Structure 1
Amino acid sequence: MALERSALEAAGKRYRDEGISRRVRGIAVSAIKEIPLLAQKVPGCVSLGQGISSFPTPEHIVDAVCRHLRESVWTGKYTLGPGLPALRRAFADMLVRERGLWVDPDTEICITVGAMEGLCATVLTLIEPGDEVLLPSPNYASHIEQVLLAEGIPVFFPLKPATWQLDLDALGHAISPRTKAIIICHPHNPTGAVFSKEDLLVVAQWALEHGFYIICDETYDFLTYDGKPYWSLLSMPELRRQVIGVFSFSKKYAMTGWRVGAVVAPADILDHVMKVHDAAAICAPTPSQVAALAALEGPQECVAHFRKTFQARRDRVCSFLDRMAPHLSYVKPQGAYYVMVKFPPQAGDSMTVALRLLHEARVITIPGSAFGPGGEGHVRLSFGSTEAELDEAMERLARWFEKNTA
């Protein structure tokens, strides 16, 4: 069974079981997607839910796609499965420029339908029934469901609640002979943590000793705050045979709806990832690949602007949360654009609180239970929205928590 109580089930929806495969019965649509579905029936909601940036896709990207749609006969056709050769070359150039990481664009990069398809294809490629996959807790909800879809076993190890940093003692105890992989989203969704290089090096050493894979979800690699350095396990040459990187254009270039990402892996692993990619998608949408190419080759000032603005929004939300003490507590995010907010036990479980906030405060939040056992007692807030939306939502939250947790 799925590891969390479905938001739609909590609201009264019932799912058919007869004739449905065990694999699909055992997973749930993430509450990240379900709560906004429920919110469609609640007028006047303000969203701190799904991680959608308020920014439009930069104009130079949109212009490039419009031009190609009008002038290039191939823009409306399939590309080769791994993606446009020019896009893969540009992506490889970006990795050299920003990471000092050289990969072969012809054999080690596949362009995917967002990072989500890339992650799912990677998990289905590596994980067999009964394999254990290590997941920090709390952890991005869809990683959990992807492991379950592959009939693997999610094995949670807690993050340190005072800092949301890796708890290496807990991780060490979670490793077993059945451990096949660990999935690390870094910077971390849902906590906003940026893990230390020293801790990640320990993870790397254990992967080498025990022979398990590391799947790096690099969706927020560009988004750290206060000058916090970012370091990726992809940077270790010793790990090249065991590490798979999954990237996204969604957050970095305000392209969530374009659905384009990339998998970077050794050629002999990527060959198998490509089988799943072909069966599920054939190729990423060609116009979206054109957009991704324009994003990589165009001006990068937009990325710096997004980072600066999100840091200001983080500080804005944190100032609201500071004024809500002692009703609420939190750890200040170091990256991504989420904050996990801890509420008093008397308010109820996290699904109950999220549903009450939706219907009573008209604010969309995500229950912490969606992110594994370590998320219970929290709700996740996204600060991707505009300043006006953030102010209104935080005012509503302040009134609700003062009334219901006093």
Structure 2
Amino acid sequence: MHIEPFELERFFDRYEHGADLMLAESGIQSRDTSEFDTDPGELGYVIPTGGDPAFRETIADRYGRGPDEVLFACGAQEANFVTFAALMGEHAVTVTPTYQSLHAVPDAFGEVTTVPLDPPAWDLDLDAVRDAMRPDTEVLVVNNPNNPTGRYLPEETVRALYDIAADNDTYLLCDEVYRLLAEDPLPPVASLGEYGISTSSVTKSHGLAGCRFGWVAANEDVVEAAASWKDYTTISPSTFGQHVAKQAIEREAELLAEHRAQAADHRARVGDFLAEHGLSWREPTGVNGFPTVPDGFDSARDFCVTLVEEESVLLAPGDAFGVPDRFRIGFGLATAELEEGLARVGDFLDRRETQAGV
């Protein structure tokens, strides 16, 4: 078994610690611990290790499923990992660009065929998905809303993906960590039928990355198989994370209203900034966008490295997602930090234009 280095995390590991401003974060601004009761009592394992049954029932309700069809995990990253480990046989199909683990992990277990979204609108060719499917395809993978592009595939496309998968006796796994940041979220994939699998967490939409709390919702056979793998990873979800996540879900309407408003305001600010500097993107859902690289740079990595070295502002190079002529910008951070970050990027671009004699 071999897995490729996680390009985005390696890039962040090199530059994030020393950067003044992180303008590539992929979630909404983190909430403060002062908002929550942070005393879960004894810090033992969560028992049962799949998660608190009553809380699993609460989460399961949003998928039209029972509590035994939900498994709690340490973030969506673990939820995805143990689900892939449980499902993978010979082949998977993944829609790209996407978060690297959604193709690298299944590729470590078998073979992955990727189907690209088509820029600049980042549309999906359903015929290309059909052509990529094989009789031994175990799982079709999509991230909706998409990271890094922010593209939110419409309901008719998602239902068509489900039908393509189900007709092939294949599961459709949708990483839905940004779904609740949409003003009008689509029905989750796990609610579409027995072949639907949803993974999510309280990281991106609820502002609780440090809780490391997520879940997979699927039919009971998939959940049991994923739980068997989880016995070899973290065993149980975080006691602290589950304790705080319960409170966040109880306050979900309030938190999401604040976060959606912040995302909308910041999205407009970034859109104006990009237009001012001759850059373009497809306006995203969520808090990530995937703009074009400014003129004068060999690639997005060249742009991002030069920017962080000169202005101490970190953006994410698109080659970490297989697209070297784009970069990811995250705009879910605090407003003052976003304003400062955009000001520094603007100064950097203006200086480059002056140096080039434009």
Q: Please, what TM-score do these two structures have when normalized by structure 2? A: 0.91
Of 181-190 and 49-58, more deviation after overlay is shown by 49-58
Write the deviation string for residues 106-158 of structure 1: whole angstroms up to 9, x where unpaired.
x2111101111000000111113xx33222221112212212332x2232212
Aligned to 2:99: 140
Aligned residues: 354
Write the deviation string for residues 288-328 of structure 1: whole angstroms up to 9, x where unpaired.
11112222234631221111111111111111111011xx2
- Which amino acid in the other structure matches residue 132 of structure 1? H
Aligned to 2:85: 124
Aligned to 2:57: 89
Aligned to 1:280: 233
Give the Cα separation in 1 of the matches to 2:218 and 2:17. 43
Q: Give secondary structure in 2 for the equivalent of 1:342.
A: coil
Give the Cα separation in 2 of the matches to 1:86 and 1:57. 26
Aligned to 1:50: 25
Q: Give secondary structure in 2 for the equivalent of 1:135.
A: strand
Give the Cα separation in 1 of the matches to 2:15 and 2:161. 40
Paired residue for 1:170, among 114, 124, 128? 128
Aligned to 1:39: 15
Q: Which runs of 4+ in 1 moved over 6 A?
A: none
Shift of 1:350: 2.6
> Contact 1:330–1:339 (CA<8 Å) still a contact in 2?
yes
Equivalence map 1:2-401=2 (5 Å) = 23=2, 26-31=3-8, 33-40=9-16, 42=18, 45-57=20-32, 59-60=34-35, 62-63=36-37, 65-66=38-39, 68-69=40-41, 74-93=42-61, 95=62, 101-105=63-67, 107-128=68-89, 131-150=90-109, 152-225=110-183, 228-236=184-192, 239-240=193-194, 242-298=195-251, 300-325=253-278, 328-333=279-284, 335-343=285-293, 346-372=296-322, 375-401=323-349
Give the Cα separation in 1 of the matches to 2:147 and 2:23. 14
Return closer, same or farther for 1:179/1:351 CA change in 2, 3 Å cut-off: farther
> Contact 2:190–2:218 (CA<8 Å) still a contact in 1?
no
> Contact 1:187–1:195 (CA<8 Å) still a contact in 2?
yes
> Contact 1:164–1:191 (CA<8 Å) still a contact in 2?
yes
Q: Give secondary structure in 2 for the equivalent of 1:143.
A: helix
Using the aligned pairs only, state the percent identity. 26
> Contact 2:73–2:236 (CA<8 Å) still a contact in 1?
yes
Return closer, same or farther for 1:142/1:50 CA change in 2, 3 Å cut-off: farther
Shift of 1:83: 0.8
Return closer, same or farther for 1:229/1:282 CA change in 2, 3 Å cut-off: closer
Give the Cα separation in 2 of the matches to 1:254 and 1:41. 20
Return closer, same or farther for 1:171/1:296 CA change in 2, 3 Å cut-off: same
Give the Cα separation in 2 of the matches to 1:134 and 1:149. 13
Structure 1: tracts of 5 or more residues without a match: 1-21, 96-100
> Contact 1:194–1:230 (CA<8 Å) still a contact in 2?
no
Shift of 1:376: 2.1
Shift of 1:398: 2.7
Structure 2: tracts of 5 or more residues without a match: none
Return closer, same or farther for 1:279/1:229 CA change in 2, 3 Å cut-off: closer
Return closer, same or farther for 1:188/1:299 CA change in 2, 3 Å cut-off: closer
Q: Give secondary structure in 1 for the equivalent of 2:179.
A: coil
Give the Cα separation in 2 of the matches to 1:298 and 1:395. 34
Aligned to 1:3: none
> Contact 1:330–1:341 (CA<8 Å) still a contact in 2?
yes
> Contact 2:64–2:191 (CA<8 Å) still a contact in 1?
no
> Contact 2:30–2:208 (CA<8 Å) still a contact in 1?
no
